[in-house]
Amino acid sequence: MAEAVRSLERAFELLEHLADGGGELALSELTERSGLPMPTIYRLLQTLAAQGYVRQQPSKRYALGPRLIRLGDGASRLLGTWARPILARLVDQVGETANMAILEADEVVYVAQVPSRHSMRMFTEVGRRVQPHCTGVGKALLAQLPPDQARAILGRTNLIAHTRRTLTDLDLLLAAMVVIREQGYALDDEEQELGVRCVAVPIPGSPTPTAISVSGPSGRMTPETIAEIVPVMHEASAQFTAALT
């Protein structure tokens, strides 16, 4: 029984290594990352592949399999369900729309939202996928990753300028990640949508990179307002981290 449990733990570890590696790794890379013997990894991968959780590419590299999509969708919905009460309290405190998003492959996916009582409609909605470089929540997600992994994601992303304020220079974006890690929050200063500012903070301890954001018109989301909102957002983040444990 103990050996079966250990095999299950190792299988989950391999899936996490594949996810951290951008969803596709060679057998030798998995061996290096996991520290497990190659025959053990090969046996576990064959079992996972037979169940659809892993697939082998024509290049012989291993990738996450399609059966994980259903599990991921269910987990995302559950994450959003847990988040809504905390986001609702955040909206009551700050008066603006609150969102939660996760990093899925190279994209930001919004999994929960509680709108403000104001009538202004913004581009975000649950289920929407966006690029990480032009949103506050996206930059907060990237800042949680090792620098090399953040660089790889941005390097694979078409850094489109959605507005004249969108940052599209890779080196400047990576430098911004350093600042975000130091100050504890990320800002979208009309980079996704003119007239809208967004501030985002990470949720430490999440099984996948997760962040919450507050969005509103630039006229209300002034630098002074953002300075007041950030500590409230960190409190909400801590509440969600506690809910996960």
- Same domain? For 100 and 168 the reply is yes
**For 121-139, how does the pLDDT look when each residue is reduced to its tens digit (9 = 90+)?**
556 777 788 899 999 999 9
Q: Is the pLDDT of residue 203 over 70?
A: yes
> Where does residue 5 fall: left (phi above 0), alpha (psi -120 to 50 degrees), or beta otherwise?
alpha
Mean pLDDT for the stretch of residues 100-107: 87
Residue 184 has pLDDT above 90, yes or no: yes
> Are 45 and 80 within one domain?
no
Q: Are residues 107 and 42 in the same domain?
A: no
Q: Give strand pairing partners of 211.
A: 101, 202
User: Helix H segments across 95-222?
Assistant: 136-142, 147-156, 170-183
Do residues 99 and 132 share a domain? yes
pLDDT band at 71 (very low <50, low <70, confident <90, very high): low
Residue that is last in its domain, among 16, 47, 65: 65
**Statement to judge: residues 86 and 15 lie in one domain:** no
**Do 190 and 174 fall within a single domain?**
yes
CA dist., res. 93 & res. 83, Å (int): 15
Assign 198 a pLDDT band (cuts: 50, 70, 90): very high
pLDDT of 227 strictly over 80: yes
Same domain, 32 and 104: no
24 and 131 housed in the same domain: no
Considering the domain architecture, whether residues 128 and 228 belong to the same structural domain is answered as yes
- Report the CATH number at residue 161: 3.30.450.40
14-69 pLDDT, tens digit each: 777 887 766 678 888 888 888 888 888 888 888 888 888 788 888 888 887 776 66
Q: How far apart are the first and last CA of the chain?
A: 26
Same domain for 104 and 42 = no
Task: Note the pLDDT of residue 228.
Answer: 95
pTM exceeding the 0.85 threshold for the entire prediction: no
Which has more pLDDT, 186 or 244?
186
* pLDDT of the residue at 56: 83
The number of distinct structural domains making up the chain is 2
Q: Tabulate helix, strand, coil % of the chain (nearest 5).
A: 50, 20, 30
Residue where a domain stops, chosen among 65, 85, 114: 65
Is residue 174 over pLDDT 90? yes
Q: Which of 29, 50, 65 is the last residue of a domain?
A: 65
Where in the sequence is the domain holding 31, given as residue range(s)?
2-65
- In this structure, what CATH number is given to the domain that contains residue 52? 1.10.10.10
For residues 127 and 101, membership in a common domain is answered with yes
Considering the domain architecture, whether residues 227 and 110 belong to the same structural domain is answered as: yes
